[in-house]
């Protein structure tokens, strides 16, 4: 047994009793009433003590008055305050955490049975008398009498053989720390999970800061700035029904002393590499970080967008950076407060490089390619002019393909460029110097090609379409031919020299069609691919609200809290996702043809409990974006949609890293991004902003 000894004067504690009776019934009442005798005097009450789950509970006020202690009830906090000249005790209804304060020093102990309300009376387990402040207690099972003897002395001992051994009572937490709980007699029977909680003193409410199923390991806690203050650190064991089994509690103070370092570079280091991976090394958990770089020689300044604190950020030095550079990390909390690290002073000494992108050595080209020489990717210096050059390897003739101040060029070589060619880019830097990339040799097929634009495969056309073609030859004429797939009949929509034509379906044209372009070139006919599509001129339905905007928060908060209680997933994060993905519930997919409402709050594709609805998604064909039909899951109600989305996150292997931190809205947001949930690089920051802006973290508060 791990003991924490601190003596108290006589008073009433009234916490948990480990009764000395062999009573296994879960009945509230026994056959005869339980009597209380204090210092030889029988104490009567209008409400009798009772036994519940093998524990004896007594009306607190009766015993307190007999022992000259004061009892107060706080309806708002649902708390009992017991005090005398020496000590103050706070117990909350249905809470396993009790607070003792003496000489302005508070200590906390976990009870195995919490105080309860019965018949408008507050009942407490009576072990307080023997377990706390020098009051003895005995149980006479035959007579069903509890004897309290205030002349006997006793010491406070924990109710459980459990101790947080990595943290001392009253310790100040200044940064990252390991949490470890000793179990001299092994884990409590039936334990499935350990949770570490950080609770506010006064309310006994707070947040999960670590959790797991391995009871022998240490759990790293990286506190956030939002955790600062006088707190209670709790280690609690739960069974598979999330019922509290055992635990320990200690008073701590969180006062972070920020340590903000840049890893992978060192003071005075000379950087010659084309790219340098940087990582933030912090002793606290920020919402996001930014990397700041300053060249004191020329005043050049760069600061990154907000990025994942746990991911690598790649610094790409350029020629203009050569010389001295100062680099640091700036961390931000959820309120946007900045915490600046010290600068690491380095020297940049990179060699100039220039490459042609978009093609590779020996490539065979039979279509279009995009030639480029992007800053950072293909060159490490600024330019004012770029020329893309082709050289005929047989004749040595050089041809200027494209000249621009900056940017890429889409090259669609035709028959006149067929053969073995060399390509390179020529640039002029900011000082007027000319630089050329190494040549890339390619084999150009150059066969005449015609690519249809304006309608894509599978498109459902309900409005006008601007038809055009891309080609690598000079056409003499073009015509667009529409074919009815059901009747096989074809008609020419347009024929002429101008390649642009606007096609507008008429009412009644609904059905399946194909379209192609036919161009003439030097007496030959060149044909595009046949593109199958559908014409629909009927009524189309668009996304609808699931509920009024001002009611959406209440709707999803209820669903999120229920899920949090069942799974441990941050309710704040769940609500933020729903807000972001539905625009506060105002844009939920419906079937575009029937108007069937999907109840799909997270845009999940496929088939749900009520089948699917057809909505739009974007595709691209020959360089032009267009919308096609796709199937999205439909549900009977929002609860089914909510559960389906949570099953996706809780069951899919790809989201295993998310599940490790899903109790924390900030860490969970970044984990979703790392797991590939969203392609938006700012997705996590958007979620974190929503959580903070609407104070959603309150949904994640827990107690014990």
Q: Could you tell me which of 80, 75, 107 has the C-alpha nearest to residue 12?
A: 80
Q: 364-440: which CATH architecture?
A: Sandwich (2.60)
CATH class of 450-535: mainly beta
| pTM assigned to the model | 0.88
- Looking at per-residue pLDDT, the higher value among 156 and 599 belongs to 599
Q: 260-348: which CATH architecture?
A: Sandwich (2.60)
Mind listing the pLDDT tens digit for each residue in 433-475?
999 999 999 999 999 999 999 999 999 999 999 999 999 999 9
Of 17-26, 416-425, 511-520, which range is least confident? 17-26
Q: Could you tell me which of 460, 467, 603 has the C-alpha nearest to residue 540?
A: 460
Q: Is the dihedral of CA 39, 40, 46, 51 positive or negative?
A: positive
Q: What does the pLDDT read at residue 84?
A: 78
| Residues of the chain by 3-state class (helix, strand, coil), percent to 5 | 15, 40, 45
Q: What does the pLDDT read at residue 129?
A: 52
Q: What does the pLDDT read at residue 131?
A: 56
Pinpoint the residues of the chain covered by CATH 2.60.40.10. Answer: 260-348, 450-535
CATH class of 163-251: mainly beta
Residue 697 has pLDDT above 60, yes or no: yes
Mind listing the pLDDT tens digit for each residue in 83-128?
877 788 898 999 999 998 888 888 899 988 888 888 888 888 776 5
Q: What does the pLDDT read at residue 143?
A: 86
Whether 699 contacts 557, CB under 8 Å: yes
State the pLDDT confidence band at 502, using cuts at 50, 70 and 90: very high
Arithmetic mean of pLDDT, 548-566: 98
Residue 19 has pLDDT above 50, yes or no: no
Q: What does the pLDDT read at residue 27?
A: 41
Residue 23 has pLDDT above 60, yes or no: no
Residue 21 has pLDDT above 60, yes or no: no
Residue 31 has pLDDT above 70, yes or no: no
State the pLDDT confidence band at 155, using cuts at 50, 70 and 90: low
Mind listing the pLDDT tens digit for each residue in 275-291?
999 999 999 999 999 99
Rounded Cα distance between 136 and 153, Å, is 6
Q: What does the pLDDT read at residue 25?
A: 34
Arithmetic mean of pLDDT, 345-374: 97
Q: 549-700: which CATH architecture?
A: Orthogonal Bundle (1.10)
Q: What does the pLDDT read at residue 152?
A: 77
% of the chain beyond a pLDDT of 70 = 94
Cα–Cα distance list, 558 to 478, 542, 609, 665, 698 (Å): 61, 27, 21, 17, 13
State the pLDDT confidence band at 7, using cuts at 50, 70 and 90: very low
The CATH fold assigned to 35-149 is: Copper Amine Oxidase; Chain A, domain 1 (3.30.457)
Arithmetic mean of pLDDT, 675-700: 97
Pinpoint the residues of the chain covered by CATH 3.30.457.10. Answer: 35-149
- Looking at per-residue pLDDT, the higher value among 554 and 69 belongs to 554
- Looking at per-residue pLDDT, the higher value among 67 and 339 belongs to 339
Mind listing the pLDDT tens digit for each residue in 191-216?
999 999 999 998 999 999 999 999 99
- Looking at per-residue pLDDT, the higher value among 293 and 619 belongs to 293
Mind listing the pLDDT tens digit for each residue in 244-256?
999 999 999 999 9
Residue 239 has pLDDT above 50, yes or no: yes
Q: Please give, one letter per residue, the 3-state secondary structure of 475-528.
A: CCEEEEEEEECCCCCEEEEEEECCCCEEECCCCCCCEEEEEEEEEEECCEEEEC
Look at strands 35-38 and 145-149 and give their pairing: parallel
Pinpoint the residues of the chain covered by CATH 1.10.530.10. Answer: 549-700
Mind listing the pLDDT tens digit for each residue in 53-89?
777 888 878 777 787 888 889 998 899 888 877 788 8
CA-only gyration radius of the chain, Å: 37
Residue 169 has pLDDT above 70, yes or no: yes
Work out the mean pLDDT of the chain and round it to a whole number: 91
Residue 29 has pLDDT above 70, yes or no: no
């Amino acid at each position: 047994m791990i003991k924490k000894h601190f003596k108290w004067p006589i008073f009433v504690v009234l916490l948990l009793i480990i009764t000395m009776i062999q009573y296994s019934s879960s009945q509230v009442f026994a056959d005869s009433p339980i009597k209380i005798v204090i210092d030889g005097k029988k104490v009567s009450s209008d409400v009798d003590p009772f036994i519940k789950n093998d524990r004896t509970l007594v009306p607190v006020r009766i015993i307190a008055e007999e022992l000259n202690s004061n009892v107060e009830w706080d309806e708002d906090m649902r708390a009992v305050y017991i005090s005398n000249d020496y000590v103050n005790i706070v117990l909350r209804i249905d809470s396993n955490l009790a607070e003792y304060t003496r000489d302005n020093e508070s200590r906390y102990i976990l009870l195995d049975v919490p105080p309860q309300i019965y018949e408008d009376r507050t009942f407490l387990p009576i072990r307080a008398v023997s377990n706390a402040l020098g009051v003895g207690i005995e149980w006479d099972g035959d007579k069903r009498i509890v004897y309290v003897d205030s002349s006997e002395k006793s010491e406070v001992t924990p109710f459980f053989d459990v101790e947080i051994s990595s943290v001392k009572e009253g310790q100040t937490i200044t940064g990252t720390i390991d949490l470890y709980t000793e179990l001299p007699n092994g884990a409590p029977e039936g334990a499935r999970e350990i949770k570490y909680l950080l609770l506010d003193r006064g309310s006994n409410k707070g947040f999960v800061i670590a959790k797991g199923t391995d009871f022998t390991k240490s759990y790293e806690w990286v506190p956030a700035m939002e955790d600062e203050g006088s707190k209670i650190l709790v280690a609690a064991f739960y069974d598979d029904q999330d019922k509290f089994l055992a635990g320990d509690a200690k008073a701590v103070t969180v006062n972070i002393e920020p340590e903000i370092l840049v890893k992978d570079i060192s003071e005075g280091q000379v950087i010659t590499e084309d790219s340098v991976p940087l990582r933030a090394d912090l002793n606290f958990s920020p919402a996001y970080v930014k990397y700041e770089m300053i060249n004191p020689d020329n005043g050049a300044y760069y600061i990154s967008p907000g990025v994942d604190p746990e991911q690598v950020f790649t610094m790409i030095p350029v020629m203009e950076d050569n010389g001295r550079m100062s680099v640091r990390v700036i961390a931000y909390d959820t309120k946007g407060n900045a915490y600046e690290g010290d600068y690491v002073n380095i020297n940049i000494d990179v060699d100039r490089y220039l490459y042609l992108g978009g093609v590779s050595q020996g490539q065979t080209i039979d279509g279009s390619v995009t030639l480029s020489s992007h800053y950072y990717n293909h060159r490490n210096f600024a330019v004012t002019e770029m020329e893309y050059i082709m050289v005929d390897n047989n004749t040595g003739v050089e041809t200027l393909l494209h000249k621009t101040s900056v940017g890429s060029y889409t090259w669609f070589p035709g028959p006149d460029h067929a053969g073995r060619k060399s390509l390179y880019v020529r640039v002029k830097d900011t000082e007027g110097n000319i630089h050329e990339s190494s040549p890339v040799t390619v084999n150009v097929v150059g066969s005449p090609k015609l690519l249809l634009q304006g309608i894509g495969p599978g498109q459902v056309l309900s409005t006008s379409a601007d038809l055009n073609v891309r080609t690598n030859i000079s056409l003499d004429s073009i015509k667009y031919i529409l074919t009815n797939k059901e009747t096989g009949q074809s008609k020419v929509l347009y024929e002429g020299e101008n390649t642009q034509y606007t096609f507008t379906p008429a009412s009644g044209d609904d059905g399946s069609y194909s379209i192609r372009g036919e161009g003439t070139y030097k007496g030959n006919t060149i044909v595009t691919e046949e593109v199958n599509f559908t014409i629909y001129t009927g009524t189309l339905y668009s996304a609808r609200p699931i509920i009024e905007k001002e009611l959406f928060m209440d709707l999803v908060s209820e669903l999120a809290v229920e899920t949090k209680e069942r799974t441990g997933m941050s309710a704040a994060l769940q609500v933020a996702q729903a807000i972001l993905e539905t625009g506060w519930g105002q844009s939920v997919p419906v079937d575009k043809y029937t108007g069937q409402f999907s109840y799909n709050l997270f845009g999940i594709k496929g088939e749900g409990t009520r089948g699917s609805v057809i909505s739009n998604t974007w595709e691209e064909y020959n360089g032009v974006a267009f919308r096609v039909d796709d199937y999205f899951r439909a549900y009977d109600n929002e609860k089914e949609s909510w559960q389906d989305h949570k099953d996706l996150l809780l069951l899919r292997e790809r989201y295993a890293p998310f599940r490790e931190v899903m109790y924390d809205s900030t860490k969970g947001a970044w984990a979703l991004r790392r797991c590939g949930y969203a392609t938006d690089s700012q997705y996590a920051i958007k979620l974190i902003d929503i959580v903070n802006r609407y104070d959603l973290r309150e949904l994640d508060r827990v107690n014990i």
